[in-house]
Chains A and B, each alone.
Chain A
Amino acid sequence: MKKEVLDPQGKVVSQTLKNMGYKNIINVRQGKYFQIELNETNKEKAKKIVEEISKKLLTNIVIEDYTINLE
């Protein structure tokens, strides 16, 4: 979720953690995590493909951000 978009689930999780006694919680935002296995050895090409599917399917770029970690 982009910073400026309200994340009600994250807010509830944050409040619950505070109720549980974690007083130093400032904010929680909830997101999704995808593990993608690719049949591609070239890192540049792999990143390009994942970027493309992130934009085309995995995220709604109006409200969501994404980051990619290659392993």
Chain B
Amino acid sequence: MKSSIIVFPGSNCDRDVAVALEKFQISHQMVWHNETSLPKTDLVILPGGFSYGDYLRTGCIASKSPIIEDIIKHAKKGGLILGICNGFQILIEADLLPGVLLRNKKLRFLSKNVFLKVINVENHFCINFNKKNIIELPIAHNEGNYFADNKILQNLEDNNLIAFKYCDEKGNINKDSNPNGSSNNIAGILNSNKNILGMMPHPERLIDPLLSGEDGSMMFESLLKSQ
């Protein structure tokens, strides 16, 4: 599997993603946002960070970068795209995923581990989570409060396009287990073809027992399995 990590001014999780991909022997190339075409690639990763200092709206300026046009072409051909944190915000601003990410309900930057229930295990990113569907991953964001109108939410629920929901240790999905006020406790969603995943938690940060866990590894193993 070949992958491309897109680097924007202000990206800061690009190298963490590269370390994770290396660990699972997924070859990768760093691609600067000013490039106009992607190298030959199966998977595009938009990493976390603060692209363009979050000017105007989070992910907004990055979504107008020259490379985005080719990423949209890649998406239309069914190529895989994973957007993590700021990457998720960019995918939304680029109209590749529906809804919007608002400021956290309590107006605070959140940096902590949360529990997630893997709702859809039948996609390229999550196949391996069928062994364990309540996982723990870190979040680190100020704008992660997923919001969409009822029609969009209904479509996501009805078509099984929600990949992850915030929950507690036992898997209960409720207000108390919702860290940022997201509609329906949504932490990650898929597009209708399930080749694009946007998520606020950081799988690349939990790939080593020495770094407190391996729940993120399952996503990279899933990607390897899916090719």
Which A residues fall within an 8 A CB radius of B? 8-9, 12-13, 16, 19-20, 30
Q: Counting CB contacts under 8 A, is B55 at the interface?
A: yes
Contacts of B66 in A (CB 8 A): 19
* CB-CB nearest in chain A for B56: A13
| A-B pair number, CB within 8 angstroms | 19
A20 and B56 contacting across the interface, CB-CB below 8 Å = no
> How far, in whole Å, are A20 and B53 apart by their CA atoms in the complex?
19
| Chain B 15-62 interface residues, beta-carbon cutoff 8 Å to A | 52-53, 55-56, 61
> How far, in whole Å, are A9 and B52 apart by their CA atoms in the complex?
9
* CB-CB nearest in chain B for A11: B55
> How far, in whole Å, are A20 and B68 apart by their CA atoms in the complex?
12
Least Cβ distance of B59 to chain A in Å? 13
Chain A, interface SS category: helix
> How far, in whole Å, are A8 and B52 apart by their CA atoms in the complex?
10
Least Cβ distance of B68 to chain A in Å? 11
* CB-CB nearest in chain B for A15: B61
Contacts of B64 in A (CB 8 A): 16, 19-20
Which B residues fall within an 8 A CB radius of A? 52-53, 55-56, 61, 64, 66
Least Cβ distance of A22 to chain B in Å? 11
> How far, in whole Å, are A8 and B66 apart by their CA atoms in the complex?
21
* CB-CB nearest in chain A for B61: A16
Contacts of B53 in A (CB 8 A): 8-9, 12
Least Cβ distance of B81 to chain A in Å? 22
Contacts of B61 in A (CB 8 A): 12-13, 16
- Provide 5 A-B residue pairs closer than 8 Å at the C-beta atoms, listed in order of the A residue: A8-B53, A12-B55, A12-B61, A13-B55, A16-B64
Least Cβ distance of A4 to chain B in Å? 21
Contacts of A20 in B (CB 8 A): 64
Known A12-B56, A16-B64; 16 more pairs at CB < 8 Å:
A8-B53, A8-B55, A9-B53, A9-B55, A9-B56, A12-B52, A12-B53, A12-B61, A13-B55, A13-B56, A13-B61, A16-B61, A19-B64, A19-B66, A20-B64, A30-B56
Least Cβ distance of A55 to chain B in Å? 25
Least Cβ distance of B150 to chain A in Å? 25
Least Cβ distance of B72 to chain A in Å? 14
Least Cβ distance of B64 to chain A in Å? 5
Least Cβ distance of A69 to chain B in Å? 23
* CB-CB nearest in chain B for A17: B64
Contacts of A12 in B (CB 8 A): 52-53, 55-56, 61
